[in-house]
Chains A and B, each alone.
Chain A
Amino acid sequence: MKTFNYTIKDELGIHARPAGLLVKEAKKFESKITLSGNGKSAEAGKLLAIMGMGLKQGAELTVTAEGADEDAAIAAMQEFLEKNL
């Protein structure tokens, strides 16, 4: 299992559009990717669940990946978050 923490920098937080892109990204991997923060957690492949976390700017997010391609998954998620959120 791999994990990293990330603080949301985007002004609007994880809003609909980047959440959708994040889901697309996460679905590229076999590993189970989970986001937790704001006292909630959700699978990275589930758009409504991620939006339902209500993550705003400044929120602390923990990303974990577990599975065959967990290293690649973590690297990709990290890159995605840095770039988009």
Chain B
Amino acid sequence: MKTYQGKSILKGTAIGRILYYSKEEQMVQRKSIDDPEAEWKRFEDAKEQASEQLNALYEKALKEVGEQGAAIFEVHGMMLEDDDFNDSIKNMIKNQKVNAEYAVATTGDNFSMMFAQMEDEYFKARSADIKDIAERVVGILQGRHAAGDLGDEPVILAAKDLAPSETVQMDKSKLLGFVTELGSANSHTAILARTMNIPALIGIPVDAELDGKMAIIDGVKGELIVEPDEETLAHYQSRKQEEQKQRELLQQLKGKEDITLDGKKIRLYANIGSVGDVARVLANDAGGIGLFRSEFLYLEKDTFPTEEEQFQAYRTVAETMAGKKVIIRTLDIGADKQADYFNLAHEDNPAMGYRAIRICLDQPEIFKTQLRALLRASAYGSIGIMFPMIISVKEVQQAKQYVADIKAELDENGIPYGDVELGVMIETPAAVIISEQLAKEVDFFSIGTNDLTQYTLAIDRQNAKLDNIYDSHHPAVLEMIRMTVENGHKGGCWVGICGELGADTTLTEDFLKMGVDELSVTPGSVLPIREIIRNTSVK
């Protein structure tokens, strides 16, 4: 597996074999000729043929990519008729008695150079156009056929550079993406790639070695991955499928309300693990963030993140979401998530060990720093705070006390904070059983189905041997969820699901019927779930 970094023209994924395309080396030799009149006639015939080809290309492009993409061939036709271009060729043939191929190629190079030296990027890029028309005429003079045969299987086309006439001649249904070494974001190839909506990278070193190899274009990172390993391939295959689905769904569902057929509005939110994920939340049109895992702030570092660092991260997310709800889960470290500087002792059973809210209440300095950062950030958006791994009312009361203390501190110092909703994660059977009492303490519940399943079924989810009996659809798990919703509502809480089950489309209807008010899912699952919500009645 090898990865090359380039510049992306279009965000998107392409997976397929590389077809290395190289223009047949244009071996133009200078030859002396005896009959300039006959040579000029050869040129004029070739020019006429080129002109016919360009007309045909124009018509083809007009149908396939529209007026904007096709205009270039009209321009090529005009360039071909240019007086200076033709005079130069005529002079060389008549005065220097050289062959037409040489006269055309040299003239093409000269004019191409003139444009290449211009300052403006647009005019600079036109040097490729001149080259292209000169090559077309030379090709005809030499009796070569126009290229463009891609074979039977769809391919990723790799080339040093592609002329617009080359790209448009290709069968679009066989083209998964372009990779070129040269070319600019303004080149026609780039414009065509955008118009055709296929992934394209420029600035990738391309050579014949790549031919026939399996490759992936990652249009988000601008990477070409050659001969990916199985894991990478699987990752991108699922991403590509997701993209495909997203595209279709986006067309239909973007901007639509998350409302059931019988009029219940659902909060359809997204889960994120870092500030960088917010772009995907917005791209997928989620109504808010239902789970912002704050651990990344701790796991990325060698020491405890400062209040200021945390504040900046939370504030950025709150501001970017522009008033939409952002629910941030306080530190959930321990178990499978470890950071050395916490100096956590080795535990035989870490899933049931010293973790999450247990650490926070035991080491209040860590907790208070985070709460202060969260409350300060709440002045910049609509923030909710939720506490993980709760098993008792007392824990919630303690956590709330810290929140109240910090609010008082902030008031004293005149530091603003917003109206913050407080909630608890329901992920232990204990929390489910006492959910009616917990509901009186907080504004919302968010059910963490992954942990809830492992604790309810007493199955360690890290233990691969137990995968066959780890059943998140187990009736006991579903009953736990139903109870939580019912008790939450009795106590005036809204109830959501932020675990993996929230994105399980086979259960969405059941959850909605149970009365679930919120589903928080990976950004990519937002639109598929929206579709179900809009087609379900809750009564």
Contacts and interface: CB of A to CB of B under 8 A. Distances in A.
Interface stretch (A14-22, A67-75, A76-84): A14-22
B120 A52 contact: no
A20 B74 contact: yes
A23 B85 CA distance: 14
B71 A46 contact: no
A48 B72 CA distance: 14
Contacts of A17: 71, 74-75
Interface string B102-126: 0000000001001100111011001
A51 B123 contact: yes
Interface string B463-485: 00000000000000000000000
B78 A20 contact: yes
Contact of A47 (B72, B78, B114, B120): B78
B126 A16 contact: yes
A13 B74 CA distance: 18
B82 interface: yes
Nearest to A21: B78
Given A15-B122, A46-B82, A46-B83, A52 B75 contact: no
Interface string A20-54: 10011000000000000000000101111101101
A79 B71 CA distance: 22
Given A51-B115, A51-B126, A20 B120 contact: no
A48 B78 CA distance: 9
A52 B115 contact: yes
B28 interface: no
Contacts of B130: 48
A47 B79 CA distance: 7
A12 interface: yes
B459 to A, nearest CB: 64
Interface centre among B81, B111, B122, B123 (most CB of A within 10 A): B123
B347 interface: no
Given A48-B85, A49-B84, A12 B118 contact: no
Contact of A46 (B84, B119, B126, B129): B84
B57 to A, nearest CB: 15
The contact size tier of chain A is: 10 to 19
A54 B123 contact: yes
A79 B129 CA distance: 29
A28 to B, nearest CB: 15
Contacts of A47: 78-79, 81-82
A56 interface: yes
Nearest to A15: B122
B518 to A, nearest CB: 47
B447 to A, nearest CB: 54
B79 A56 contact: no
Interface string B164-208: 000000000000000000000000000000000000000000000
A49 B82 CA distance: 9
B123 A23 contact: no
Interface string B265-300: 000000000000000000000000000000000000
Interface in B54-103: 71-72, 74-75, 78-79, 81-85
A13 B122 CA distance: 10
Contacts of A48: 79, 82, 84-85, 111, 114, 130
Contacts of B119: 54
Interface string A51-70: 11010100000000000000
A29 B85 CA distance: 21
A13 to B, nearest CB: 8
Given A45-B83, A47-B81, A48-B84, 11 more contacts: A15-B122, A16-B75, A20-B74, A43-B83, A46-B83, A46-B84, A47-B78, A48-B111, A49-B82, A54-B119, A54-B123
Q: List the 10 shortest-distance A-B pairs measured between CB atoms, nearest first.
A: A20-B78, A16-B75, A47-B82, A48-B82, A46-B83, A54-B118, A54-B123, A17-B71, A46-B84, A47-B78
Interface of B: 71-72, 74-75, 78-79, 81-85, 111, 114-115, 118-120, 122-123, 126, 129-130
26 contacts: A12-B122, A13-B120, A15-B122, A16-B71, A16-B72, A16-B78, A16-B126, A16-B129, A17-B71, A17-B74, A20-B74, A20-B78, A23-B78, A43-B83, A46-B83, A47-B81, A47-B82, A48-B79, A48-B84, A48-B130, A49-B84, A51-B126, A52-B114, A52-B115, A52-B123, A56-B120
